């Protein structure tokens, strides 16, 4: 006897058919007012979203695990799933109920992935949300990235894995597409949004074809990227993926930008982390450079500002133009009226992307209407600012769009609903056909009142009511006690517990007309809305250029506001290599510190390109080093800087080796991480690099560490990199005697009894001591431990003085005072060892030697 598996129900069969095409993502399957998930998707969603997992009977012999969420609150659930790295296919009902014998027709209308978000509710307004792809080709890495919510699309090629990782750290994509067989560096292995794609997709010819089709061109030479084979391969894969997930042609992605690494000051991943540009060492945004600088009035300005901070430019003409623009905006506080008006612009950039994708909601169009209304005032106030800066290029695009502004003003009501579904978006008077349909539908109320009055008089039934609901339409309702007195022309429609509902031919005829009018009004309104989107898309390119110009104006106004509020000055860009900063301040520490910040000078030039910094822990060495780097970075972004004056020469890279942490995931100790970062600096630093080196060598034994620190400093001195080299190895202070262009400076401190007061002031020369015990005392180390440490320190100093008086020296490394690598905290020899040392081997017999061995064994 054979058994057959029961067939799946038509609805589950449809679900499984759609799910087969989207096996890797969660499927939101629309059923009425809910999105349902079944089988494994339901189990996973219930765990991730903490929603109830139920069962829906059986289909095909299987119980059906099921979970659901209301469609009107889906955005909140989507946001949580995307934050967890999940992707979700949205499957909508597209057919009409009853139009087919089987289940209503459904299809996937888009796939929501971490890197392809454009819904306002799913995005962080002030951060880019990037989709990226990488394509390796021998030692060259092609990198492409797209912000779907704005249409910005860029490519870059770099040499080597480290350079690729540095760029990915800068971009921080939400989703990263890689070839299926690519071996991942451990830094990327835990990336939540990692997507592996088939090798066959990474094909240059296919990618080029995809890009030409996207931009409607015959070749890519006009974009300046035709020779970038690896980057174009990545770009083609990325566009295919974005189009597939969005189920649209991405009309707002109409060009591709090429980044040249030589145009920017390169900052590697470790240096970017140490400088805390827009994320601090714990991963939050508190007390970062961006948190101090970013007071932009628009979200799109805030995103652009972070891009500028993360990619300081070497193109002096552009940077100088920005400085000039900030200076002009600062005259008579010209930035103030501009900022007040910009506050009403909103996120025009992302609204336009949703317009292009035909996913803009009514409130998006209302905000765009309000943004367009600000343009005449912005144009007027910007033209009042003197010419001759980066502002000149912005004036071309910041202009009114009177016809479009008028159309949106006439079309969209002041406060439209969130969605178009039930209408009520288009103003009365905008379209005569819509007004006619609405009039017929809205006059229903008056007719129903008249009908109710007439029927009460005709029937003599005082409790008769005329009503409407969405299920049964219009009806006449009578209490159950009076229902038997209903006239013969009353046709029973519905029986309730305490009432009966009826219909009459006249009311049925009116119902058909009224509901038809309401349906026609809604259809007309949706048609008009689509026409508005088409009208806007016809001007999309110009509008996008305007939004980009507004974002840049916002950033320059913010720089001007920060300069005035924080007393920052315009840096002078000079052609000679070096930095000359007078009374520089750390831009973040100055704002968050409860105490007045102590400013300090920095002078790095061709004849003094390295400063060896000594001084106490907590004295401010790291703060001084970081402030120098951040001042240089701000200057190369086009911002004013926290100093009394600053001359900034050209830089190609900023390196930092500061702080300590291990890399457990990568199997690297703290010292290994330190040496890896040091190796990167030593291999890549040039005479135009700014290098910050803090406590090199402290993770190993004293003389190993000192030797590594000395050799590293000598190498950087030979390269003539602009270097700040902080150390607690006082032997390093002898380096200026052996290398030209090296000088000593130190952070000052004073003692009061056994306590220390940090002055945080830079002075020439080497520090006299490190004050380690005083700092330990400040940190709360128990008093008895401090006392014992002082005793030990005294003993060590006495021993060191005795060794020095006996002429101990190190010939191999200048400045190192002892060739020994003793255990500085060695204990007295064990008695057995002392006895063995005193034993006269020639004066004892074998029997005595054996007896001594037994005795010593017992004493160990």
- CATH assignment of the domain containing 224: 3.30.420.110
Residue 90: C-alpha distances to residues 12, 364, 418, 652 (Å): 16, 22, 19, 47
- pLDDT, tens digit, for every residue of 323-365? 999 999 999 999 999 999 999 999 999 999 999 999 999 999 9
- Looking at residue 437, its pLDDT comes to 85
Q: Is the pLDDT of residue 60 over 60?
A: yes
Task: Give domain status of residue 250, yes or no.
Answer: yes
Q: Is the pLDDT of residue 517 over 90?
A: no
Q: Which of 774, 793, 812 is the last residue of a domain?
A: 793
- Looking at residue 213, its pLDDT comes to 95
- Looking at residue 825, its pLDDT comes to 35
pLDDT over 90 percentage in the chain: 63
For 44, phi and psi rounded to 5 degrees? -65, -45
- Looking at residue 329, its pLDDT comes to 97
Task: Tell me the pLDDT band of 830, cut-offs 50, 70 and 90.
Answer: low
| Helix residue ranges, H only, 399-493 | 402-411, 432-442, 444-459, 480-483
According to the annotation, is 858 in a ligand binding site? no
- Looking at residue 818, its pLDDT comes to 39
Task: Give domain status of residue 338, yes or no.
Answer: no
What average pLDDT score do residues 83-103 get? 82
According to the annotation, is 460 in a ligand binding site? no
- Looking at residue 666, its pLDDT comes to 52
* Same domain, residue pair 49 and 144: no
Q: Is the pLDDT of residue 105 over 80?
A: yes
What average pLDDT score do residues 755-777 get? 80
Task: Give domain status of residue 555, yes or no.
Answer: no
- Looking at residue 711, its pLDDT comes to 92
Q: Is the pLDDT of residue 796 over 80?
A: no
**Winning range, highest mean pLDDT, from 10-24, 274-288, 316-330:** 316-330
* Same domain, residue pair 94 and 136: no
- pLDDT, tens digit, for every residue of 186-232? 777 777 789 999 999 999 999 999 999 999 999 999 999 999 999 99
- Looking at residue 829, its pLDDT comes to 55
Task: With residue 127 as reference, give the H or E element that holds it.
Answer: none
Give the angle subtended at the CA of 586 by the CAs of 580 and 590, to the nearest 5°.
140
What average pLDDT score do residues 114-133 get? 92
* Same domain, residue pair 96 and 143: no
Q: Is the pLDDT of residue 585 over 50?
A: yes
* Same domain, residue pair 640 and 780: yes
Domain CATH number, residue 475: 1.10.1420.10
Task: Tell me the pLDDT band of 397, cut-offs 50, 70 and 90.
Answer: very high
Better pLDDT: 503 or 756: 503
Q: Per DSSP, what are the bridge partners of residue 147?
A: 152
* Same domain, residue pair 577 and 497: no
DSSP 232-289: HHHHHHHHHHHHHHHTS--TT----EE--GGGB-EE-HHHHHHHTSSS-TTSS-TTSH
Domain CATH number, residue 107: 3.40.1170.10
Q: What is the mean pLDDT of the chain?
A: 88
Q: Is the pLDDT of residue 645 over 90?
A: yes
- Looking at residue 662, its pLDDT comes to 45
Residue 721: is it exposed, middle or buried by C-beta count within 10 angstroms (0-12/13-18/19+)?
buried
Task: Tell me the pLDDT band of 828, cut-offs 50, 70 and 90.
Answer: very low
Lowest mean pLDDT among 91-105, 225-239, 304-318, 709-723: 91-105
According to the annotation, is 712 in a ligand binding site? no
- Looking at residue 693, its pLDDT comes to 94
* Same domain, residue pair 606 and 710: yes
Q: Which token pair is 411?
A: 């079309």
Task: With residue 310 as reference, give the H or E element that holds it.
Answer: helix 299-310
Task: Tell me the pLDDT band of 834, cut-offs 50, 70 and 90.
Answer: low
* Same domain, residue pair 79 and 186: no
According to the annotation, is 693 in a ligand binding site? no
What average pLDDT score do residues 566-582 get? 97
Q: Which token pair is 667?
A: 């199997």
CB atoms within 10 A of CB 191: 16
According to the annotation, is 684 in a ligand binding site? no
Q: Which of 82, 112, 142 is the last residue of a domain?
A: 112
Task: Tell me the pLDDT band of 575, cut-offs 50, 70 and 90.
Answer: very high
Residue 494: C-alpha distances to residues 251, 323, 475, 500, 512 (Å): 52, 76, 9, 6, 18
- pLDDT, tens digit, for every residue of 247-260? 999 999 999 999 99
For 403, phi and psi rounded to 5 degrees? -65, -45
DSSP 371-402: HHHHHHHHHHHHHTSPSSSTHHHHHTT----H
- Looking at residue 189, its pLDDT comes to 74
Domain CATH number, residue 747: 3.40.50.300
Better pLDDT: 516 or 378: 378
- Expressed as residue numbers, the domain containing 446 is 432-526
Q: Which of 214, 242, 261 is the last residue of a domain?
A: 261
CB 693 within 8 A of CB 716: yes
Task: Give domain status of residue 394, yes or no.
Answer: no
Task: Tell me the pLDDT band of 2, cut-offs 50, 70 and 90.
Answer: very low
What average pLDDT score do residues 231-239 get? 97
- Looking at residue 174, its pLDDT comes to 94
- pLDDT, tens digit, for every residue of 170-182? 999 999 999 998 8
Strands (E), 622-721: 645-648, 653-657, 689-694
- pLDDT, tens digit, for every residue of 15-52? 999 999 999 999 999 998 899 999 999 999 999 999 99
According to the annotation, is 150 in a ligand binding site? no
Q: Is the pLDDT of residue 819 over 50?
A: no
Sign of CA dihedral 207, 208, 211, 216: negative
Distance in angstroms (rounded) separating the CA atoms of residues 658 and 654: 13
According to the annotation, is 620 in a ligand binding site? yes
Residue 429: C-alpha distances to residues 301, 410, 441 (Å): 36, 8, 16
Task: Give domain status of residue 5, yes or no.
Answer: no
- Looking at residue 1, its pLDDT comes to 38
- pLDDT, tens digit, for every residue of 624-637? 999 999 999 999 99
- Looking at residue 100, its pLDDT comes to 65
Task: Tell me the pLDDT band of 788, cut-offs 50, 70 and 90.
Answer: confident
What average pLDDT score do residues 466-494 get? 89
* Same domain, residue pair 773 and 653: yes
* Same domain, residue pair 107 and 136: no
Q: Which token pair is 682?
A: 């030593």
- Looking at residue 858, its pLDDT comes to 65
Distance in angstroms (rounded) separating the CA atoms of residues 674 and 662: 9
Q: Is the pLDDT of residue 605 over 70?
A: yes
* Same domain, residue pair 609 and 682: yes
Task: Give domain status of residue 269, yes or no.
Answer: no
Task: Give domain status of residue 809, yes or no.
Answer: no
Q: Which token pair is 23?
A: 């096996």
- Looking at residue 620, its pLDDT comes to 86
* Same domain, residue pair 96 and 131: no
Question: What's the structural domain count of the chain?
Answer: 4
* Same domain, residue pair 42 and 132: no
According to the annotation, is 222 in a ligand binding site? no
Better pLDDT: 407 or 512: 407
């Amino acid at each position: 006897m054979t058994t057959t598996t029961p067939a799946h129900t038509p609805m589950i069969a449809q679900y499984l058919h759609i799910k087969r095409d989207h096996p890797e993502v969660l499927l939101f399957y629309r059923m009425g007012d809910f999105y349902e998930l079944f089988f494994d998707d339901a189990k996973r969603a219930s765990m991730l979203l903490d929603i109830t997992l139920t069962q829906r009977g059986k289909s095909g012999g299987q119980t059906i695990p099921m979970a659901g969420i209301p469609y009107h609150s889906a955005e909140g659930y989507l946001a949580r799933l995307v934050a967890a790295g999940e992707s979700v296919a949205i499957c909508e009902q597209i057919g009409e109920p009853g139009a087919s014998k089987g289940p209503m027709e459904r299809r996937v209308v888009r796939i929501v992935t971490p890197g392809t978000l454009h819904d306002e509710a799913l995005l962080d307004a002030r951060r880019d949300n990037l989709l990226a792809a990488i394509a390796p080709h021998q030692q060259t890495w092609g990198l492409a990235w797209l912000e779907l919510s704005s249409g910005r699309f860029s490519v870059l090629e770099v040499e080597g894995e480290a350079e690729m990782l540095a760029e990915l750290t800068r971009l921080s994509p939400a989703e990263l597409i890689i070839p299926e067989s690519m071996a991942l560096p451990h830094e990327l292995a835990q990336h939540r949004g990692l997507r592996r794609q088939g090798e066959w997709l990474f094909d240059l010819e296919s990618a080029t074809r995809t890009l030409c089709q996207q931009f409607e061109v015959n070749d890519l030479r006009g974009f300046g990227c035709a020779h970038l084979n690896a980057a174009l391969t990545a770009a083609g894969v990325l566009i295919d993926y974005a189009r597939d997930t969005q189920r649209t042609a991405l009309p707002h992605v109409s060009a591709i930008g090429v980044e040249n690494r030589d145009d920017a000051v390169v900052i590697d991943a470790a240096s970017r982390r140490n400088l805390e540009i827009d994320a601090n060492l714990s991963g939050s945004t508190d007390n970062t450079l961006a948190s101090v600088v970013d007071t932009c009035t628009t979200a799109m300005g805030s995103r652009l500002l972070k891009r500028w901070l993360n990619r300081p430019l070497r193109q002096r003409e552009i940077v100088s133009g920005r400085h000039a623009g900030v200076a002009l905006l600062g005259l008579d506080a010209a930035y103030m009226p501009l900022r007040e008006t910009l506050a009403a612009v909103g996120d025009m950039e992302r609204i336009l992307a949703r317009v292009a994708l035909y996913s803009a909601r009514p409130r998006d169009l209302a905000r765009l209407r309000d943004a367009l209304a600000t343009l005449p005032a912005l144009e007027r106030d910007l033209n009042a600012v003197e010419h001759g800066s980066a502002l000149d290029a912005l004036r071309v695009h910041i202009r009114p769009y009177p016809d479009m502004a008028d159309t949106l003003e006439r079309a969209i009501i002041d406060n439209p609903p969130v969605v178009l579904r039930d209408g009520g978006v288009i103003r009365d008077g905008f379209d005569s056909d819509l007004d006619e349909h609405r009039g017929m539908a809205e006059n229903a109320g008056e007719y129903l009142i008249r009908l109710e009055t007439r029927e009460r008089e005709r029937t003599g039934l005082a409790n008769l009511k005329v009503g409407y609901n969405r299920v049964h339409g219009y009806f006449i309702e009578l209490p159950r006690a009076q229902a038997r007195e209903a006239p013969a022309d009353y046709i029973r429609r519905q029986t309730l517990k305490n009432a009966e509902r009826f219909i009459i031919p006249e009311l049925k005829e009116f119902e058909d007309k009224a509901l038809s009018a309401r349906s026609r009004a809604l259809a007309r309104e949706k048609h008009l809305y689509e026409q508005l989107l088409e009208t806007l898309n016809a001007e999309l390119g110009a509008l996008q250029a305007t939004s980009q110009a507004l974002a840049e104006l916002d950033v320059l106004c913010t720089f001007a506001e920060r300069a005035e509020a924080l007393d920052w000055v315009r840096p002078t860009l000079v052609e000679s290599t070096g930095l000359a900063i007078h009374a520089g301040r750390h831009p973040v520490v100055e704002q968050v510190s409860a105490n007045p910040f102590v400013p300090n000078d920095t002078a790095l030039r061709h004849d003094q390109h390295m400063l060896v910094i000594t001084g106490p822990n907590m004295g401010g060495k790291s703060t001084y080093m970081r402030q120098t780097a951040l001042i240089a970075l701000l200057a190369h972004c086009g911002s004013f800087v926290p100093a009394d004056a600053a001359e900034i020469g050209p830089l190609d890279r900023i390196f930092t080796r500061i702080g300590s942490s291990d890399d457990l995931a990568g199997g690297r100790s703290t010292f290994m991480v330190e040496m890896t970062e040091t190796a990167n600096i030593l291999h890549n630093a040039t005479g135009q690099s700014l290098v910050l080196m803090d406590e090199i060598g402290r993770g190993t034994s004293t003389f190993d560490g000192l030797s590594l620190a000395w050799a590293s400093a000598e190498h950087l001195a030979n390269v003539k990199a602009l270097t700040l080299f902080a150390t607690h190895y006082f032997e390093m202070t002898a380096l200026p005697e052996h290398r030209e262009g090296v000088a000593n400076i130190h952070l000052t401190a004073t003692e009061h009894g056994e306590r220390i007061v940090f002055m945080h002031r830079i002075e020439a020369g080497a520090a006299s001591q490190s004050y380690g015990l005083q700092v330990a005392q400040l940190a709360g180390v128990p008093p008895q431990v401090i006392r014992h440490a002082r005793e030990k320190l005294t003993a060590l100093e006495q021993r060191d003085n005795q060794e020095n008086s006996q002429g101990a020296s190190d010939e191999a490394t200048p400045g190192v005072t002892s060739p020994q690598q003793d255990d500085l905290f060695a204990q007295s020899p064990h008695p057995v060892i002392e006895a063995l040392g005193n034993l006269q081997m020639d004066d004892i017999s074998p029997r005595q030697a054996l007896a001594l061995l037994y005795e010593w064994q017992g004493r160990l």
